[in-house]
Amino acid sequence: MATRTIGKVGVIGCGLMGSGIVELCARRGLDVISFEPTQSASDTGRGRVQRSLDRAVKSEKLTRAEADAALGRVLFTTDLDSFADRELTVEAIVEQEAAKIEVFGRLDKIVTSPDAVLASNTSSIPIMKIAMATARPEYVLGIHFFNPVPVLKLVELVPSLMTAAETEDRARSFAVDQLGKTVVRSKDKAGFIVNSLLIPYILAAVRMLDSGFASAEDIDNGMMLGCAHPLGPLQLADLIGLDTIKAIAEAMYEEFKEPLYSAPPFLLRMVEAGLLGRKSGRGFYEYTR
């Protein structure tokens, strides 16, 4: 039997990741609702989507008519009750376990379709912890996109022990057939595939810099020119956000208690100082905002 397509998508959070998910779904012809809890945050999210679509037009990846049509498919709202008819909802809020659990508890009471897919874009938190906030854990899984969402091809699909096979099949079909992504499947362990490899690498670069072993520029040039990486580890950390790196590292250390997952004190001090990377204008490098 053919897997049912998904036509109505909800995205909770319209920050860096959420706005990319909103844009991608809208460009693929889906009916999208974007939620932020305040009007100011919702307006900011709408602006992110608009600017990204404008860049796509400028680079001739979209026509102006296509960009306008995509934006017209999105409802930006501060009312989570409007998600009642969504066939699939993707949570893309701050990487904090308590916040995600609270959102899924609310969604469970709002979404009316008994087989609607409830997905988290978490990059590190075990899906089972999130799923058990609902009365339908068999319909909960991780769909982890990568930034920038409209450009990068990868999606990590993360079913929990309770996720139904049909739910996983629908999510895979959604990512591959409807969004044009390539899917890798991960077990439900903190960090999943990509961050389990990436975060220790970035943390090692932070420790190397802090110890005076090498400068930030030399560390990054070494990996870019010596290993053909498009960005060095410290440049990549600034792009991801140092607060996000810290949150992922803490989630992985909590699960595995491995020293290589422990956030270095230097990283902690930078986050405490508000030096978060590109989004704050300064991290391991300085940026013009």
CA 229 to centroid of chain Cα atoms: 21
Task: Determine which one of 52, 121, 123, 280 is catalytic.
Answer: 123
258 tagged catalytic: no
CA distance 278 to 269: 17
Asked if 143 contacts 11 with a C-beta cutoff of 8 angstroms, the reply is no
In terms of phi and psi (left: phi > 0; alpha: psi -120 to 50; beta: otherwise), the region of 192 is: left
Residue 143, classed as helix, strand or coil, is strand
Task: Determine which one of 52, 124, 195, 280 is catalytic.
Answer: 195
40 tagged catalytic: no
For residue 169, the tally of other CB atoms under 10 A from its CB is 12
Task: Determine which one of 144, 160, 186, 250 is catalytic.
Answer: 144
221 tagged catalytic: no
Asked if 12 contacts 89 with a C-beta cutoff of 8 angstroms, the reply is yes
Query: 53: which 2 tokens?
Result: 């679509």
Asked if 214 contacts 208 with a C-beta cutoff of 8 angstroms, the reply is yes
195 tagged catalytic: yes
Query: 280: which 2 tokens?
Result: 């704050």
Going 255 to 258 to 260 to 262, the CA torsion angle's sign is: positive
Task: Determine which one of 97, 156, 160, 186 is catalytic.
Answer: 156
Query: Which residues make Cβ contacts (< 8 Å) with residue 276, sequence separation at least 6?
Result: 241, 242, 243, 270, 283
Active-site positions? Answer: 123, 144, 156, 195
